[in-house]
Structure 1
C-alpha cells in the first residue's frame, strides 16, 4: 500500500473511532460537545490559514533582518544561487524517497515571477519582479521546473514557467543563460530537461522550424570541425558555444549536460537496473580522406555530412541519442585519462584541481546512457575523495549532485560510500516532512506526494468529531422527545 493510501486508511480509522467515542459523550452533554466541535473547527481554520501563509512574507522579513529564510537550503548568501541550490535539494530529496517540507517547496514556488520566470534569487518575493534588478534566469527557471514537477501539486507554476521558456526560445531552437542571449549547450540542455519533466516533447517545441535538439547538436565537435587541438581526442565532445570566429572547443561541463539532454532526460534520471549489463561507449569513427573528415581541420563547423550515424562518414549525426552516445564516449575517455575525474583551473590559479561537480554530472549522464562500468568508476573516485571536496560538507547543491549521481547508478541515493549524504543535506535546511523508510512509495507509481488532491489527516479527524457530535445531539434530542 502506498503512503497516501496508508495515510487515508489511518485517518478513516481515526475518524471512525472518534465517531464512536464522541456520540455517547455528546448524548450526555450535548452543549459541551457542540462547543468542542466549534472550537475544533475554529482551530482547523486557523491551522489552514497558517499553513497557507505565503513563505515569501517570512522570506522578506528574515532577509531584511539579516537572516536567511527558514525554508531555504544552505547558509551562504543566496544572491546568485538561491533558486538553483533549492531546486537541487528538492530533486535530491525526491530521488532519495523523502518528502520535502512544505515550506521548502513553498519557498521555491514563491520565487516565481508573475510572467512565469525565475531569477537566481529574490530577497523579497512579495515585490513585483523588476527585470532591471532581478534579471530572469533561464537556468534557474529550467531547474525550478524540474524540482516543482518532482515535488508535485504545482502544475500551474510548472505550466507557467514552461510557457515562459517557450516564449524565450531562440530562433536556432536553443536557449542562452538569459532571454535573448546566444544559445549555449548548457542552458539548452537544461531547457530540454525541464520540458521533459513537465511532460512536453522537446522535438515539438520549435522556433522557425528549429528544435532544441537542432541547437544542441550544433555544439558538438565532429570529424569535420575546424580549429581543434588534438581533434581525434575531442571528437564527440560538446562546446559551450562557438567563439567569435565560430570555432568550437571541447567543454567537460557542456558535454555532460548535452550527453544527458540528448537522451531527452532531466537531472532526475531513472536509476540503472541492477541486472542490466553495462552498455559499451561508442566514440565517433572518422573516415580518413572521406567527405567531412578533413584531417587538416579545414572542414568548418557543421560541414561534416549529417545523417550518417555516429560512426558514419564524417562522424556527424542528426540523431540526438547517437550524439549523446558520442558525448558519453568522450566523457568516459577523458575521465579515464585523469584517473576517474575531471580537472579544472580555478580563476586566478594556473594549477589544475579536481572538478568534483562536473565529475558528478558526468556520472549521471553516463548512467543515463546505460554505461554502468564507466559511471561506477567515477562514482568510486568521488566516494574515495569525498572528504577533499569542501563543498560536499555543507553546500546543498554539491551534496545533492552526489546523491543524484549515486541514485543514477542504481546505488543508495542517501549515501556515497559510508557517508550519509541525506543527513548532511538535512542539516542545511528544513527537515523533510517524511524520510525514506518502510513507507517509501511502492512500485505502483503512486509517489505519495501531495499533488493537491490528498485530504489532510486532520480533516478526517475534524469530520469525525463533527459527525460524532452530530450523532450525540441527535440521540439526545430523541431522548428528550421520548421524555415529554
Structure 2
C-alpha cells in the first residue's frame, strides 16, 4: 500500500471525524480506407498492396515494410519514448518531420521525402493526426504542427467529422484521432467547425448509440452508420470515442491516487448500463457525458475476460486484440476508471509478448497504457517495454539507464512519503487544534 496516500487518507478521515463530532453529541486509431473495419493500430496492407520499402530507412522504428504504417508507428514510438523520459534520436524525429507534405498533411509513408507531394500522394487524416500528437509532445516543431492542424481543418466534413481520406465519409475512429491531435495542439475541438456548422464533437457524438439501443449497447459507438443509417456497437470505435469525448490524445497523464480509491466511480463492479437522461447516453449530451457512458460500456465488456476482440477482414470470428485492449486501458484511465484497468492490464502482461515482437507501434501503445495508469513500463510483466521499444530504432540521444530510473523512482517515492508524512502530522495537528478549540469553546459556554 502506498504510504503517502495512506497518510493523507488518515489525516482527512481524522479531520472529517473531528468536524462531525459536535453534530453527533472521482485510452488511435488509425484505419485504412476499406469497407472492413480493423483494429486501430493493427495496420494491414490493402488488397493489391506492393511494398514501397524493401529496406526501411535506419531512422525508422521497426524493420518491416512501412508503406502502410510508417508515420503511424514512428509517431507512436516517439510519443511513448517521450513519456518514458527518453530523448529520441534526432534523425528519428527529423524523419517524421520530413514526411510532411507542403499542404501540411502526412501520407502513411513516403519513400523519397525530397520528392514533392502531388495529387496522387495518399495523405490521410490518421497519419496526420498521429504526427501532430508526436511533434506537439516533443516540442520545437510549432510550424509543422500548425501546418498539419490547418490541413486537418481544411478536410473536415460537413457533419463535423473526418474520414480516413479527404472527402471520405466520416467515421468514429478517424474523427477521434483528429480530436486527440487538435487537443494536443492546444485547439478546442468544440470550436473546430465546418464553416459555421457542426463541430468536431458534433461529428463524433453522431456515432454514439443512445436510448433507442438495448441496455447492453447503450453508450457504445459505431464505426460508421450502415446503409440504412443504423448504428451497430463496435468495441474499437467505443474506445476511440471515449478517449476523444474527454478531449484526450494517446498521452494521458498518470493519476495521483491508488487504484483502490474512489470505488464509487473506480470499481470494476460499476459496469451497469447507463440510464437515459442522466449518464449521457441520451440526446443533447455533452462530450464528457458521452465519454462516461462509453467508458461504462468498455468497463462492462472488459469485466468478462479482460480483453477486447476484433473481427478482422476475412475472419470467421473475433480474435483477441492487444492493441485495442491497450487503448481501452488508456481510455478508462482518462475517464478515472482505474479499477476497471486492472484486469486488462493483467491480460496484456500475459498475452502481449508475441504481439509486440518487432512491433514498435504495439510496444509504444503498451508504454502509453502503463503511463496512463501510473504503472512502470520498465517492469511490465517482467519486461522493460521502454528498452525494447528503443531497440527497434536508432539509438536515443539520451535515456536514463534502467538502474538509474529505478533508483530515481525509489528516491521520488521516499520524498513523496516524507512529504505526505509531514502533511499527515500537520493534519493530525489540525485535528488536535480543532478538538482543543471545541473543548475550550464548550468549557466557556458551561462557565
* Fold agreement, TM-score > 0.5: yes
Unaligned runs of 5+ in 1: 1-62, 226-230, 288-307, 444-484
Partner Cα separation in structure 2 for residue 274 and residue 436 of structure 1: 25
- 3-state DSSP of counterpart to 2:134: helix
Q: Is the 8 A contact 1:139 1:177 kept in 2?
A: yes
> Which one of the candidate residues 332, 351, 355 is aligned to 2:299?
332
Secondary structure at 2:216 match in 1: helix
Q: Which residue of 2 aligns with 1:320?
A: 287
Mapped pair 1:237 → 2:225: no
Partner of 1:265: 248
Aligned-residue offset at 1:435: 0.8
What is the total number of aligned residue pairs between the two structures?
350
For residues 92-151 of structure 1, the C-alpha deviation after alignment (integer angstroms, 9 at most, x for no partner) is 00111111110000000000000100001000000011232x211100000000001111
Measured in 1, the distance between the counterparts of 2:382 and 2:274 equals: 40
Find the partner of 1:125 among 76, 95, 113: 113
Q: Determine which of 315, 325, 333 is the counterpart of 1:349.
A: 315
Is 105-114 or 206-215 further displaced after alignment?
206-215
CA contact (8 A) 1:366 1:375 kept: yes
Determine whether 1:365 maps to 2:331.
yes
Q: Tell me, yes or no, if the aligned pair for 1:95 and 1:413 is still in contact at 8 Å.
A: no
Equivalent of 1:168 in 134, 138, 155: 155
Specify the SS of the correspondent of 2:357. Answer: helix
| Secondary structure of the structure 2 residue equivalent to 1:92 | helix
Once residues 247 and 311 of structure 2 are traced to their aligned partners in structure 1, the CA distance between those partners, rounded to angstroms, is 30
Q: Matches of 2:88 and 2:117 in 1, distance apart?
A: 26
Deviations 1:414-434 (A, max 9, x none): 341211111211221112111
> Mapping of 1:57-456 within 5 angstroms?
66-132=54-120, 134-207=121-194, 208-225=196-213, 231-275=214-258, 277-278=261-262, 279-280=265-266, 284-286=273-275, 308-310=277-279, 315-337=282-304, 339-387=305-353, 390-436=354-400
Return closer, same or farther for 1:170/1:283 CA change in 2, 3 Å cut-off. farther
TM-score using structure 1 length:
0.69
For 1:67 and 1:174, locate their aligned partners in 2 and report how far apart those are by CA, in whole Å: 36
| In structure 1, C-alpha distance between the alignment counterparts of 2:52 and 2:234, rounded to whole Å | 40
The alpha-carbon distance between structure 1 residues 160 and 283, as it changes in their structure 2 partners (threshold 3 A), is farther
Does structure 1 retain, via aligned residues, the 8 Å contact 2:271–2:299?
Answer: no
Task: Determine if contact 1:367/1:409 at 8 Å carries over to the other structure.
Answer: yes
SS at match of 2:256: coil
Judge conservation of contact 1:317–1:323 (CA < 8 Å) in 2: no
Confirm or deny: 8 A CA contact 1:260 1:266 kept in the other structure: yes
Question: Is there any run of 5+ residues in structure 2 with no aligned partner, and where?
Answer: 1-50, 413-447
What's the C-alpha RMSD, in Å, of the aligned pairs? 2.3
| TM-aligned CA deviation for residue 220 of structure 1 | 0.4
Contact residue 239 and residue 249 of structure 1 kept, 8 A: yes
> Which of structure 1's runs of 4+ aligned residues deviate more than 6 A?
none
Q: Cα deviations across residues 241-294 of structure 1 (Å, max 9, x unaligned)? A: 10110000111111111100100111011112234734345755446xxxxxxx
Greater Cα shift, 318-327 or 423-432: 423-432
